[in-house]
Structure 1
């Protein structure tokens, strides 16, 4: 799985890259563009959810990279429509970058978590690398074709289960291990980031249900 820094901010952009998007627009214009593109994309696809179009959107970052999505939406507020879309794409990318590590975290989390999160997430048991990759695709597909709030809640639940798993594995790890002395700290930081991501996605789901997610 990517390092903590790459999880928090997968791509750093030089100022000229943003200038090139809209001719050096100010932050307010960039924010408006993020909201407009997110709203237009979601409305268009949900109005006519052509399976081929949805499939291309789900796999978009496989061909074009996460940078293309980041340029549009990564700087949007967490509790916003572009912010929600960015976080779902980010979660899918993180899963595909390290399906083995994420699946181990999910399996441990399902064992130690005493909530219904694993039920909400909808992953099979056991959830191996192939299963978590497939789940990530199903969640993103649900953003465009199903109940948007449910898709966000599924993503949030998945994050919470994996976070619980990483925290548990970190507790078991030997901090004095000379081979991987930083592993417990890395896992703890990943757990915290996933918990934050879950909170943001869940907040977006609540706002969407109130028709207040702009």
Structure 2
């Protein structure tokens, strides 16, 4: 150990959590606020497919620890929803279909085509996430929240879902909806 100012320089360890958080916030801010300034449809497509083409998984891992009321936390939730829909579109369509009759207003806000099959859900989630670059970010959050609310309602109606499964999806819906209101009020940071 070195005395004085060199004491901290001698400590070997992982990345400074404050710097990791700062990098996550900066990347999220550039992605959401920077992308919105363009009318180029290619930018929207690149944002949509970042997970597949740009290795966003690494950034998403950093975003995973971000609070739900931050840009980074919202982006992590949005990319997780897209990954989940693409990983198991048949099960997601089944849960959405089970909830759409009870959560009719949320179904309309989510904007899924009729009938809500696996391909329709993929199309909807892609359309919503394109909005990160091309439209109002609050709209992206509200539509994804509505989608999660319909799925939570569907899970509650199905026999094979646990209370924890329903609750997890409901919490996601509430977090995204609250973030949407925060974005409208004064913008997420």
Q: TM-score higher than 0.5 here?
A: yes
Match status 1:145 vs 2:121 = no
Q: C-alpha displacement at 1:49, in angstroms?
A: 3.7
Selected match of 1:198 from 159, 173, 181: 173
Unaligned runs of 5+ residues in structure 2 are: 1-12
Give the aligned partner of residue 11 of structure 1. none
Work out whether residues 43 and 133 of structure 2, in 8 Å CA contact, stay in contact via their aligned partners in 1: no
TM-score by length of 2: 0.86
Report what 1:210 is aligned to. 185
Q: CA offsets per residue over residues 42-91 of structure 1, 9 Å max, x none?
A: 22211114212221220222345663342331111111011111111110
- Structure 2 vs 1, CA of residues 196 and 66 (structure 1 numbering), >3 Å: closer, same or farther? farther
Displacement of 1:129 in angstroms is 0.3
State TM-score, norm by structure 1. Answer: 0.77
- Which residue is 1:121 aligned to? 110
| Partner of residue 40, structure 1 | 30
Deviation at 1:166, TM superposition (A): 1.0
Partner of 1:105: 95
Aligned mates of 1:92, 1:38 — CA distance in 2: 17
Correspondence 1:133 to 2:128: no
Q: Distance in 2 between matches of 1:46 and 1:167?
A: 37
Q: Are the counterparts in 2 of residues 139 and 155 from structure 1 also a CA contact under 8 Å?
A: yes
Say if 2:140 is the partner of 1:165.
no
Structure 1: which 5+ runs fail to align?
Answer: 1-22, 171-182
Residues 108-164 of structure 1: CA deviation (Å, up to 9, x unaligned): 101233x41001101112110000000010110012111110110000000000110
Which piece of structure 1 moves more, 121-130 or 64-73? Answer: 64-73
Q: Which has the larger radius of gyration?
A: 2
- Supply the distance in 2 between the matched residues of 1:65 and 1:95 (Cα, whole angstroms): 19
Q: How many equivalent residue pairs?
A: 177
Query: 1:70 aligned to 2:60?
Result: yes
Q: Secondary structure at the match of 1:48?
A: coil
On the 8 A contact 1:61/1:68 being kept in 2, the answer is: no
Instruction: Name the CA distance, whole Å, in 2 between partners of 1:47 and 1:129.
Output: 32
Aligned residue in 1 for 2:48: 58
Query: Residue deviations 1:5-35, cap 9 Å, x none?
Result: xxxxxxxxxxxxxxxxxx9332222111111
Q: Is the 8 A contact 2:145 2:176 kept in 1?
A: yes
